[in-house]
Amino acid sequence: MDYFAHESAIIDEGCTIGTGTKIWHFSHIMPNCSIGERCNIGQNVVVSPNVVLGNNVKIQNNVSLYTGVECEDDVFLGPSMVFTNVINPRSGVNRRDQYAKTIVRKGASIGANATIVCGHDIGEYAFIGAGAVVTKTVLPFALVVGNPARQIGWMSEFGHRLEFNTDGMAICPESKQEYKLDNGHVVRTK
């Protein structure tokens, strides 16, 4: 084994788990999951069948990733955040053939206790505030908060709020990377 799994963790058949990944207490990795290298899966995490995690994904305690969720590299999932996988669940109606896909793009962060309603992708390096309820697709680099979540700004790859000048340019105070805001979209220029 090139990864660590606490003795209380359960890992079902058919999973692939990358080198350097750590799976902590009372977590359950269900069949046919694909987990990348250097991931950290906290306590009491459930990874449902066929979920895909890229490299360096950090999942805090008490998170459930349901079938249909895919997280690209460098994603952060805060404590007790929630993904859904069916738009209109009912206990007495089997809707397993209606699971909606949700992709969390590279470098995105989702805060503690946030809820992501299925079928709405999270753009690369987006930042979802704690407790937000996401009911629509989130743009790359967007900062969203509230219930329902609404965009209130833009974030850098290093997780700093971007302040754009009159030319639509901003610089991350930590990395010094430059960003351009053009027609409601942000791209990194340097």
- What is the per-residue pLDDT for 87? 87
- What is the per-residue pLDDT for 96? 85
> Phi and psi (nearest 5°) for 64?
-115, 125
- What is the per-residue pLDDT for 190? 84
| pTM, full prediction | 0.96
CA atoms within 13 A on the CB side of 12: 14
Token digits of residue 56: 């360096």
Determine the topology of domain 1-87+97-155 in CATH.
Answer: UDP N-Acetylglucosamine Acyltransferase; domain 1 (2.160.10)
Q: Is the dihedral of CA 178, 149, 100, 45 positive or negative?
A: positive
- What is the per-residue pLDDT for 69? 97
What is the torsion angle, in degrees rounded to the nearest 10, for the CA atoms of residue 130, residue 131, residue 133 and residue 138?
A: 0
> Do 106 and 88 touch, CB atoms closer than 8 A?
no
Amino acid at 173: P
- What is the per-residue pLDDT for 1? 79
Find the angle CA(37)-CA(114)-CA(47) to the nearest 5 degrees. 40
Q: Give, as one character, the DSSP assignment of residue 20.
A: T
Residue 78: count of CB within 10 angstroms of its CB:
21
Domain coordinates in residue numbering, the chain: 1-87+97-155, 162-190
CA atoms within 13 A on the CB side of 68: 20
Q: What is the pLDDT along the chain (190 residues), one digit of tens a residue?
A: 799 999 999 999 999 999 999 999 999 999 999 999 999 999 999 999 999 999 999 999 999 999 999 999 999 999 999 999 988 989 999 988 889 999 999 999 999 999 999 999 999 999 999 999 999 999 999 999 999 999 999 999 999 999 999 999 999 999 999 999 999 999 999 8
Three-state SS at 116? strand
**How many helices and strands (H and E) does the chain possess?**
0, 24
- What is the per-residue pLDDT for 92? 94
- What is the per-residue pLDDT for 110? 98
- What is the per-residue pLDDT for 97? 85
